[in-house]
Amino acid sequence: MKSCPKIPIDQYSYNSLFHGLWVKNWVCDMSLSTLPLFANLYIRIIFMAKDLTQGDIAPWLYRLTAPMVLGIMAMFLFNLVDTYFISLLGTQPLAAISFTFPITMLVINIGIGLSIATGAVVARALGQKDQQLTTLWISSSFYLSVLTALVIMIIGLTFQESIFSLLGASAELLPFIQDYMDWWFAGSVLLIVLIVVNSSVRATGNTKLPSLVMLFSALINGVLDPILIFGWGPFPELGIKGAAIATLISWMLALMLIMHFVIRNQLISFHISKALFSSWKKLVSLGLPAAFTNMLGPLANGILVAWVATYGDTAVAAYGVGSRLEPLALIVVMAFTASLPPFVGQNHGAGEHKRIEDALVKSMQFIMVWQLLIYAALVLLASPISMLFSDDVQVQSIIKTFIYILPISYFGLGFCLVSTATINSLHKPRISLMINTVRLFVFYLPLAWLGNHYWGLTGLFWGCAMANLLVGLSIMLMFNRVRNDPRWSNKLLEV
């Protein structure tokens, strides 16, 4: 085979991360006259970095968000599949998995906090057209995610019994919880690294590959769940432990897939840079407030679980189903929170600030209409959904009550989530932390407590819904203030 000439990729594509070596194995035998055609085709197939600072905003938002809808839907279905198969084991295992939800979400959100910092710095470096800085950020975030994940795993395995006892888990449920969480905490190392690496790839404007990786992981989990839980074929019946093992295997295979892409295309350097610790300092300064922000949700949910637990295991089981339906109902909102950061980060780095404002407006307009349509669909399907997850009439009744009340408020929550995702991408995670602190501890928990105190479990649900609506209104008022006052907008945009 003849040797390949080194051709600068910037002749064909925006801000390559491959440093002119990306076509090496794929087009070595092709003539130079065919290279530009195949180069551009390769870029589209392998999901290369994209310049999000040019072109119409709405088409870009669609191209970024649509793949993320598929990927996030896959991950939420991942949780629902676990819940469904575990529900077939009985009410106690279902209640046990409901108690794990606040802790698993807490760990996931720590990873998301780090990924938010990673996405912000990588996207901004891309907007500034700085290849070397981009590679440094991707590599540094990878090493930091590994270290963070190992610490979390050790803490989780050591203190899990005390943690779940504090959440109100009964002695009868603790063995089920431990069977599941022993394996889940072990696999959390893979999960956190996977979340951060996916964020690095998304920051380049490539949302397709991370979405396909998430879909692949969900499919593997869906196949392995019944095999390991119920002992199909030659496999032993592992019960709730089998669900956790299936989860671990799916994360491992997904991480292997995304790392193969990242390493093959030289998006990461295994050379330890002298700037590693200084880059960690920057990532931690952005990631810690973002992580705290993301930890507030599971913390508030844990408090709600404790309140719901006073109504018995049936209420906890039903609330656990509702907690897993909620992110599925918010899937488009979550897709926007994943697709807006690369758009905002690149345009921030390039100084295209009006494009950021327009993108946020278009996102919120779409969310308003979409979430009301989702509410209508959920109301129509409330009975079938409740029967799908439980044969217990009481559990079914509480699931339907949840569906009738909370989802109508999700557009307000959506306004808050996309706004804080945008603010994080502007390197202002402390402002996002303040907004979410107010959302949860000034609106959400106090109104839920008042509803629970005066009207019981149904009142608790209404309190949560009212909080979401009030937060959405507050976000709209704040957004208009920022748009009309240059002092506020300049403060947000300064680095």
Q: Within a 13 Å sphere around the CA of 98, how many CA atoms are in the beta-carbon half?
A: 33
Residue corresponding to tokens 């969310």: 367
pLDDT score recorded for residue 32: 36
- Say how far apart CA 116 and CA 290 lie, in whole Å: 7
Residues 15-28 have pLDDT tens digits of 334 333 333 333 33
N residues, the chain: 495
Residue 38, pLDDT above cutoff 60: no
DSSP letter for 1, please.
-
Query: For 131-135, 142-146, 238-242, 397-401, which range has the lowest pLDDT when averaged over its residues?
Result: 131-135
pLDDT score recorded for residue 27: 34
Give the mean model confidence (pLDDT) for residues 129-148. Answer: 85
* 390 or 4: which leads in pLDDT: 390
Taking alpha carbons only, the member of 73, 29, 80, 122 closest to residue 322 is: 80
CB burial string 102-134: b at 16+ within 10 A, e below: bbbbbbbbbbbbbbbbbbbbbbbbbbbbebebb
pLDDT score recorded for residue 96: 84
Mean pLDDT of the chain: 82
Taking alpha carbons only, the member of 165, 149, 153, 413 closest to residue 291 is: 149
- Say how far apart CA 283 and CA 278 lie, in whole Å: 9
- 31 φ/ψ sector (left φ>0, alpha ψ -120 to 50, else beta): beta
Give the mean model confidence (pLDDT) for residues 202-207. Answer: 81
Contact by Cβ (8 Å): 192, 144: no
108: tokens are 């996931």
- Say how far apart CA 432 and CA 421 lie, in whole Å: 8
Residue corresponding to tokens 């593997």: 220
pLDDT score recorded for residue 494: 67
DSSP state string for 65-83: HHHHHHHHHHHHHHHHHHH
* 35 or 418: which leads in pLDDT: 418
CB within 8 A of 376, min separation 6: which ones?
Answer: none
* 358 or 3: which leads in pLDDT: 358
DSSP state string for 170-195: -TTTHHHHHHHHHHHHHHHHHHHHHH
pLDDT score recorded for residue 493: 67
Residue ranges of the domains in the chain? 65-493
pLDDT score recorded for residue 193: 93
* 444 or 203: which leads in pLDDT: 444
pLDDT score recorded for residue 40: 39
47: tokens are 């999901």
For the question of whether the overall pTM of this predicted structure is more than 0.75, the answer is no
pLDDT score recorded for residue 18: 35
- Say how far apart CA 312 and CA 66 lie, in whole Å: 40
Other C-beta atoms within 10 Å of 489: how many?
A: 16
Residue 184, pLDDT above cutoff 50: yes
DSSP state string for 384-421: HHHHHH-S-HHHHHHHHHHHHHGGGGHHHHHHHHHHHH
Provide the terminal-to-terminal Cα distance of the chain, rounded to the nearest Å.
50
pLDDT score recorded for residue 495: 58
pLDDT score recorded for residue 100: 85
Residue 371, pLDDT above cutoff 70: yes
What value, to the nearest 5°, has the Cα angle with vertex 462 and ends 460 and 463?
65
pLDDT score recorded for residue 49: 60
pLDDT score recorded for residue 44: 40
Other C-beta atoms within 10 Å of 478: how many?
A: 15
CA distances from 354 to 53, 81, 431 (A): 11, 42, 20
| Confidence label for 380 from pLDDT (cuts 50, 70 and 90) | very high
What is the amino acid identity at position 286?
Answer: L
pLDDT score recorded for residue 23: 34
| Confidence label for 123 from pLDDT (cuts 50, 70 and 90) | confident
Percent of residues, the chain, with pLDDT higher than 70: 89
What value, to the nearest 5°, has the Cα angle with vertex 191 and ends 190 and 195?
120
| Confidence label for 350 from pLDDT (cuts 50, 70 and 90) | confident
Give the mean model confidence (pLDDT) for residues 186-209. Answer: 88
246: tokens are 């299936």
* 442 or 49: which leads in pLDDT: 442
Query: For 85-89, 250-254, 405-409, which range has the lowest pLDDT when averaged over its residues?
Result: 85-89
- 256 φ/ψ sector (left φ>0, alpha ψ -120 to 50, else beta): alpha
Query: For 93-102, 328-337, 371-380, 418-427, which range has the lowest pLDDT when averaged over its residues?
Result: 93-102
pLDDT score recorded for residue 186: 92
Residue 490, pLDDT above cutoff 80: no
